[in-house]
Amino acid sequence: MSYNQPPPNPYGQQPPQGGYGQPQPPQQGGYGQPPQAPYGQQQGQPGYGYPQQGQPPHAPYGQVPPQQPGYGYGQPPVPPQGGGSGKRTGIIVGAVVALVAIGAGVFFVTKGGDDDKGGSGSVKNDGKQYKLITPDTVAGTYTKSKDGSGSSDGFDDDDVTLLKGLGVSNPTKVSAGYTSGSELTGKLLQFSGVYGKVADPQKVVDGMFADLKKQASKDSGSDSGKTELIGSPQTVKPAGMDDAVMKCQSTKYTEGTKSFTTPICLWADYSTVGYTLPIDLTVAATGSGDGMPINDAAELTAKVRHDVRVPLN
């Protein structure tokens, strides 16, 4: 996972001097600017935040610049393109990328251990096997991103090998991004998971959050923001989760004077492991306030699990 790679500047790139595509005058620029190269000599590369010559400037949020490298597993779901998308502050981009990147770490680094609390006896096992799918609609109002955002950023082969260390046999990866409501005031939802055979669901969930804490502690903050955990993971038991272990925890994203919180919920049963990361666009766009409450996030995750988890045979 390329977690150490910083997310895009949430507040947008610095605009280039002059109109895009206009030739620069031959005279010397202002103080601190490099002199213009003689005619026929190759121009130097523009500074960070300026578009390359012959390439369009950075697209507004909702479009992925072609030169932007991927962030590995957990690329955030991108809302449908439409009018007014440029009004949304870029804090959403940085926050979602950072939060999902941290969330990815809980899966492919965690090993579990003898000190993990809980045990398999706390979860009912009906003896059936299930798989995970990505239907067009989950939880009633969330529709899958038409451009496939969030679906191609799952675990790679190395991650699957490490997942086996968690006691998940024959894991198969699944991931998708979903949206609900307006692209300015609605919600984003990242769903990711694996299915196979899980030896001890309680141990997996405890191990995930232990490693999530470790991953978050490495995020000391930068120009692109800081992500941190709030409090401790909370055990939740929404309707329909008697055969699974689920915990949720709030995360906080801060950049400059702006910050907002959003929950992450993780579940494990004897066949599936997954998490949801909901982003409230209204809260994220203003960079102030609390996102979805833990209990609401737990209920949403239970509904998502109900829709994405189907019998294997």
Question: Residue 34: inside a domain, yes or no?
Answer: no
Q: Assess contact for 121 and 111: CB atoms under 8 A.
A: no
Q: Is residue 69 part of a domain?
A: no
How far is Cα 112 from Cα 82, in angstroms, rounded to an integer? 44
Could you give the count of Cα atoms lying within 13 Å of 34 in the half-sphere of its Cβ? 8
Phi, psi dihedrals of residue 293, rounded to the nearest 5°: -60, 155
283 assigned to some structural domain: yes
Distance (Å, whole) CA 222 – CA 256 = 10
d(CA 276, CA 264): 6
Supply the angle between the helices 201-217 and 91-108 in degrees, to the nearest 10. Answer: 130
What is the extent of the structural domain holding 248? 85-311
Residue 68 falls inside a structural domain: no
- Residue 74 placed within a domain: no
Neighbours of 114 (CB within 10 A): 5
CA contacts within 13 A on the Cβ side of 212: 30
The two three-digit tokens of residue 253, written as one number: 């994203």
Does residue 46 belong to any structural domain of this protein? no
pLDDT tens digits in sequence order for the chain, 313 residues long: 332 333 333 333 444 444 434 444 444 444 344 444 444 444 444 433 333 444 444 444 333 334 333 333 333 333 333 344 444 455 666 666 666 665 555 444 333 334 444 444 468 888 899 999 999 999 999 999 876 665 555 555 655 666 777 788 988 999 899 999 987 788 999 998 899 999 999 988 887 787 778 777 776 655 667 888 899 999 999 999 999 999 999 998 888 888 889 999 999 999 999 989 999 888 887 877 788 999 999 999 999 999 999 998 7
CA angle, 225 then 156 then 111, to 5°: 75
Query: Is residue 51 assigned to a domain?
Result: no
Residue 16 lies in a domain: no
259 DSSP β-pair partners: 254
Side chain identity, residue 115: D
Measured torsion, CA atoms of residues 146, 149, 152, 158, in degrees rounded to the nearest 10? -160
pLDDT tens digits, one per residue of 68-77: 333 333 333 3
How many domains is the chain built from?
1
